[in-house]
């Protein structure tokens, strides 16, 4: 009786210990899964931005302070609340005439926090031109005019940065293919559109990416959140909102706008990164800290991934690998061992990888080079 009782107690202890260990590990991985983490790149800070979101001041379900709290939980650097100028379904319950009000309330909620809150608005029209966000506005009320062209011109007068929202949205573009109309070409030729969402909510557009390349537009990926970030993007299950990673000289509004006007951005959604080679390659490279163990003909390297992306790498080097196939995954916030058959014991050598979960254009991946010494 006694010994089996002791056995039961020690089994119980063992089970509680394993359970506690599991909880500790869960706590560690949850910390990484919530805060969005990407390293800076040479010369620039990597600012994590969500520049499209709604509150009860248009058709969203939350007060502006909730958008600020969500952004702080996600470790964002900048947000822009972009309530619809022309679509105000709650104005019998929440009557207001000032289209800057949600921005003002969000700004107040962010006092003392390390979060940039930008004034913006969604110009909400039928197609063409569809929906566009004007951000870095001085007064959103002045864009609330009948003629859509006038709204864009006013945005420009205020020094705003304007991007075309969800051009692939099936409610306005039934086949889901982002397509420029005459009105868009006119807006582009007058410099009234400066960027385009290639990702919105849970939808992606290769065609929008091609339009961006052709017309030299900045790339954006935003949540367009109306409800709660946690529910819409399944954050408790390890999900994250889409964000625009912006490469700015400093963390402030002026630098952020300057970066957008020079198309210095990469879009991050699910486990995918999209942007130009110029910024994607350094972003991936800075994410991977490579160290060499000793020196031999089969060289062992440890790759620490300090970013949130699980990088899917394809080996394009002159050497084959010893412990991995030619395609392998370097998991986020983990260290992965690779063994390289350099044939001779070399003082230094170069490795090349295509990053298969990153795109510079439809079907095209960036390539990174790593010099080993």
Task: Rule CB under 5 A: say whether 77 interacts with Zn ion.
Answer: no
223 vs 332 by CB, closer to Zn ion = 223
51 vs 283 by CB, closer to Zn ion = 51
Size of the site for Zn ion (CB under 5 A): 4
| Angle of helix 64-73 versus helix 101-109 axis, rounded to 10 | 40
Supply 152's token pair: 């864009």
Q: What string of H, E and C letters represents the secondary structure of 254-289?
A: HHHHHHHHCCCEEEEECCEEEECHHHHHHHHHHHEE
Dist CA 212 CA 263 (whole Å): 10
Residue nearest to Zn ion (CB): 131
Dist CA 113 CA 75 (whole Å): 11
Q: How far is CA 242 from the centre of its chain?
A: 5
86 vs 122 by CB, closer to Zn ion = 122
Instruction: Give me the 155-174 binding string for Zn ion, x by CB under 5 A, dash otherwise.
Output: ----------x---------
Stretch that binds Zn ion, among 141-149, 176-184, 187-195, 216-224 (CB under 5 A): 216-224
122 vs 308 by CB, closer to Zn ion = 122
Output the DSSP codes for 51-102.
--B--TTTT-SS-HHHHHHHHHHTT-SEEEE--BSS--TTTTTS----TTHH
Beta carbon of residue 131, minimum distance to Zn ion (angstroms, whole number)? 3
Beta carbon of residue 62, minimum distance to Zn ion (angstroms, whole number)? 14
Beta carbon of residue 296, minimum distance to Zn ion (angstroms, whole number)? 56
Q: Binders of Zn ion among 114-143, rule CB under 5 A?
A: 122, 131
51 vs 273 by CB, closer to Zn ion = 51
Beta carbon of residue 28, minimum distance to Zn ion (angstroms, whole number)? 35
Instruction: Give me the 187-206 binding string for Zn ion, x by CB under 5 A, dash otherwise.
Output: --------------------
With residue 198 as reference, give the H or E element that holds it. strand 195-200
131 vs 257 by CB, closer to Zn ion = 131
Output the DSSP codes for 288-339.
EEEEEES--SEEEEEEEE-SSS-EEEEE-SSS-BSSS-SEEEE-TTSEEEEE
Task: Rule CB under 5 A: say whether 224 interacts with Zn ion.
Answer: yes
Beta carbon of residue 83, minimum distance to Zn ion (angstroms, whole number)? 8
Which of 222, 174, 173 has its CA nearest to residue 195? 222
Beta carbon of residue 185, minimum distance to Zn ion (angstroms, whole number)? 21
Q: Binders of Zn ion among 8-47, rule CB under 5 A?
A: none
Dist CA 134 CA 141 (whole Å): 12
Beta carbon of residue 171, minimum distance to Zn ion (angstroms, whole number)? 9
Q: Which residues bind Zn ion (CB under 5 A)?
A: 122, 131, 165, 224
């Amino acid at each position: 009786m006694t010994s089996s009782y002791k056995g039961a107690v020690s089994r119980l202890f063992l089970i509680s210990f394993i359970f506690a260990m599991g909880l500790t590990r869960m706590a560690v991985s949850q910390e990484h899964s919530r805060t969005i983490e990407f390293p800076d790149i040479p010369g620039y800070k990597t600012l994590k931005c969500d520049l499209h979101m709604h509150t009860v001041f248009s058709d969203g379900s939350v007060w502006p302070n909730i958008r600020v709290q969500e952004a702080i939980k996600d470790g964002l650097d900048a947000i822009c609340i972009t309530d619809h100028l022309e679509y105000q379904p709650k104005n019998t319950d929440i009557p207001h005439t000032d289209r800057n009000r949600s921005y003002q309330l969000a700004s107040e909620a962010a006092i003392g926090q390390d979060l940039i809150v930008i004034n913006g608005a969604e110009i909400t029209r039928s197609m063409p031109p569809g929906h566009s966000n004007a951000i870095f506005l001085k007064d959103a009320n002045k864009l609330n005019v009948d003629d859509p062209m006038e709204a864009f011109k006013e945005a420009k007068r205020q020094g705003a940065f304007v991007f075309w929202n969800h051009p692939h949205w099936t409610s306005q573009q039934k086949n889901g293919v982002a397509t420029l109309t005459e009105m868009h070409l006119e807006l582009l030729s007058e410099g009234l559109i400066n960027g385009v969402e290639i990702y919105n909510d849970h939808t992606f557009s290769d065609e929008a990416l091609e339009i961006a390349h052709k017309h030299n537009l900045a790339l954006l990926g935003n949540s367009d959140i109306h409800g709660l970030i946690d529910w819409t993007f399944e954050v408790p299950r390890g999900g994250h909102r889409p964000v625009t990673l912006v490469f700015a000289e400093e963390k402030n509004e002026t630098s952020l706008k300057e970066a957008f006007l020079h198309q210095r951005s990469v879009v991050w959604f699910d486990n995918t990164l999209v942007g130009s080679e110029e910024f994607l390659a350094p972003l991936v490279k800075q994410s991977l800290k490579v160290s060499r163990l000793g020196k031999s003909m089969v060289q062992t390297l440890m790759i620490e991934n300090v970013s949130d992306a699980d990088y899917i790498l394809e080996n394009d080097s002159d050497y084959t690998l010893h412990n991995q196939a030619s395609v392998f995954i370097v998991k986020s916030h983990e260290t992965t061992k690779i063994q390289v058959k350099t044939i001779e014991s070399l003082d230094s050598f170069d490795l090349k990888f295509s990053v298969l979960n990153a795109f510079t254009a439809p079907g095209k991946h960036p390539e990174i080079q790593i010099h080993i010494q």
